[in-house]
Amino acid sequence: MTRSEINNYIVEAKEFFSAMRFHLPPWAYWNPDEWKRRASSCGRIVKQGLGWDVTDFGGGPYLERGLLLFAMRNGEAGDPIRPYAEKIMIVRENQETPFHYHWNKTEDIINRGGGRLVLELYRATDDDEFSDEPVTVSVDAIDRTVDAGGTIVLEPGESITLVPHLYHRFYGEPGSGLVLTGEVSKVNDDETDNRFYTPLGRYPEIEEDEEPVHLLVSDYARFIGT
């Protein structure tokens, strides 16, 4: 991805969040110079992987396979005080987040407004293939069962609980618009806790054709030296 593309998607995201009356913390709007000035006080933000995240999962057309996220809070593995995380995401129509599961994380995926969110589900076999067994999940505390590879469609206000070793992919339903998508989960660890069905990169390779509007989580080490 080019930096100009990423910048444009972040600007669009800020406009969408504003229209949906979803507010980010003040540091979400810092530019790189502000980050450098405040770096000494931001160690926890950096360590916990909070902030902007725009990914094409290692390559390919972003509008077909990609995701924009902002991590607002996160604990650390083994921390009994803050064993949780929260993200806000924008999922576009037919924009796929590919099949993956988490080794340890249980998460609630929440349609917080906008379009309809489609999830496709498979249980994982012991050798990490797709199981042909039906899948039972909790949708707002009500169990629902679908066939292997079946879909659950979340209307605004609905949520689904995804447990470890449950393959899932999701995308916005065509014709329904951008989906404001929340995630509330156990501690998030994108370095070690994602198992993609087809091996993929987690962060994009960026062509620096202009300066960042805001830093991504993957930018912190290079731009502010942490």
CATH code for the domain of 151: 2.60.120.10
Query: Could you tell me which of 130, 10, 140 has the C-alpha nearest to residue 62?
Result: 10
Name the one residue in this structure whose structure tokens are 């931001």. Answer: 42
Query: Residue 76's pLDDT is what?
Result: 84
Tell me if 162 sits within 8 A of 193, measured CB to CB: no
Query: Residue 166's pLDDT is what?
Result: 98
**Spatial separation of the C-alpha atoms in residues 13 and 127, rounded to whole Å:** 38
Q: What are phi and psi of 118, to 5 degrees?
A: -105, 130
Question: Which residue numbers in the chain have pLDDT < 50?
Answer: none
Containing structural domain, residue 76: 3-224
Residue 55: beta bridge partners? 67
Query: Residue 225's pLDDT is what?
Result: 74
**Spatial separation of the C-alpha atoms in residues 183 and 71, rounded to whole Å:** 9
pLDDT in tens, 61-78: 999 999 999 999 999 877
* Element holding 162 (H helix, E strand): strand 159-162
Name the one residue in this structure whose structure tokens are 């993957």. Answer: 218
Residue 151: beta bridge partners? 120
Residue 84: beta bridge partners? 186
Query: Residue 79's pLDDT is what?
Result: 79
Query: Residue 226's pLDDT is what?
Result: 59
Query: Residue 203's pLDDT is what?
Result: 87
Domain total in the chain:
1
**Spatial separation of the C-alpha atoms in residues 101 and 123, rounded to whole Å:** 9
**Spatial separation of the C-alpha atoms in residues 21 and 181, rounded to whole Å:** 13
